Amino acid sequence: MTPRPILALALGFVLGQDVFGAGLSWEKDFKTAKARARSEGKLVMVDFWADWCTFCKKLDQTTYKDPGVVARLAKTTVPVKVNTEGRNDEVELGEEHGVESLPTIGFFTPGGRAVSRIEGYVGAEDFLRLLTSAEIQGADMMLWEKTLAQDPGNFAALYGLGSRMYELNYHDDARPLLERARRSDKGTLRERKRVRMMLARIIESQSSFTDSEAMLREGLALPPEPDTDARLKFLLSRCLVNLGKGAEARSILTKLIADYPGHAIIATAKRTLETMK
């Protein structure tokens, strides 16, 4: 992005006007944007950019000038520009969220949790469609955050937010939420089993196969629930292979294939068993 004159930049901030894309009022930093979003009940939209990014400049000149986009963003988000090669806090935010290409547009809850992202340039029509999706997902997440602020042990909120963070591969954020959901353990049988399944996969990637095995067996020890049990058993077999317990893993896979012939996991289970022969 071509640097603007210092005077124009200063004047824009003083007047609260947008100096990047006409009509938008950009906050000065992520922290301030989160605070304002919390008070207004909105999402934070982070536009990750850099001086050299041609398509970042194109966003400013087109999409962010579209009247429909400007109106929607003003209604549902607090926008903030983050220069991935700027201040330390900006660089750190980009690194924390794995921003590897520009432009990247991230949507966040007032609590700072990622909701969704747009990578690359998009025109106004596509932007509005993707914004709608972010608004829908963000509404649920903001409700869960608000619920947890009032009731830290609420299973539904812990499960919903933890599951969403897991799906987005924010495992460091998902794990404490899911661990609290496990301690609460007040959801449906399927939800309770899925909490343990997600935790097992996170534990496997972060610490040990042994602890993951224990979590999977804990899930299977709950009353039967066919769909989730089939997935738990497949994950347990894979875990056992990594622990050097191949014979037990083959036994579990063989029984899994016999017991759940129509399950979606069976094709993968058959291929896995074949490679173990």
The alpha-helical segments, DSSP class H, found in the chain are 6-15, 30-40, 54-61, 67-76, 88-96, 124-150, 155-167, 171-184, 189-206, 209-221, 226-242, 246-259, 266-275
Place 277 in a pLDDT band, splitting at 50, 70 and 90. confident
Domain at 131, CATH number: 3.40.30.10
According to the model, what pLDDT value does residue 167 have? 96
Tens digit of each residue's pLDDT (9 = 90 or more) over 184-240: 999 999 999 999 999 999 999 998 999 999 999 999 999 999 999 999 999 999 999
Q: How far apart are CA 248 and CA 253, in angstroms?
A: 9
Q: Are 49 and 105 in contact (CB under 8 A)?
A: no
Note whether 77 and 33 are same-domain residues: yes
Note whether 175 and 129 are same-domain residues: no
Note whether 169 and 122 are same-domain residues: no
Note whether 12 and 121 are same-domain residues: yes
Taking alpha carbons only, the member of 237, 253, 257, 254 closest to residue 245 is: 237
For residues 53-75, average pLDDT: 95
Q: How far apart are CA 237 and CA 260, in angstroms?
A: 15
Domain at 232, CATH number: 1.25.40.10
For residue 1, pLDDT beyond 60: no
According to the model, what pLDDT value does residue 24 have? 85
For residues 108-134, average pLDDT: 97
Q: Is residue 143 part of a domain?
A: no
* Domain end position, chosen among 79, 108, 136: 136
pTM of the model: 0.85
Tens digit of each residue's pLDDT (9 = 90 or more) over 134-172: 999 999 999 999 999 999 999 999 999 999 999 999 999
Note whether 179 and 73 are same-domain residues: no
Greatest mean pLDDT range, 18-22, 265-269, 273-277: 265-269
Note whether 11 and 115 are same-domain residues: yes
Q: Is residue 142 part of a domain?
A: no
Note whether 120 and 10 are same-domain residues: yes
Note whether 260 and 169 are same-domain residues: yes
Q: Is residue 223 part of a domain?
A: yes
Q: Is residue 1 part of a domain?
A: no
| Residue span of the structural domain in which 124 resides | 6-136
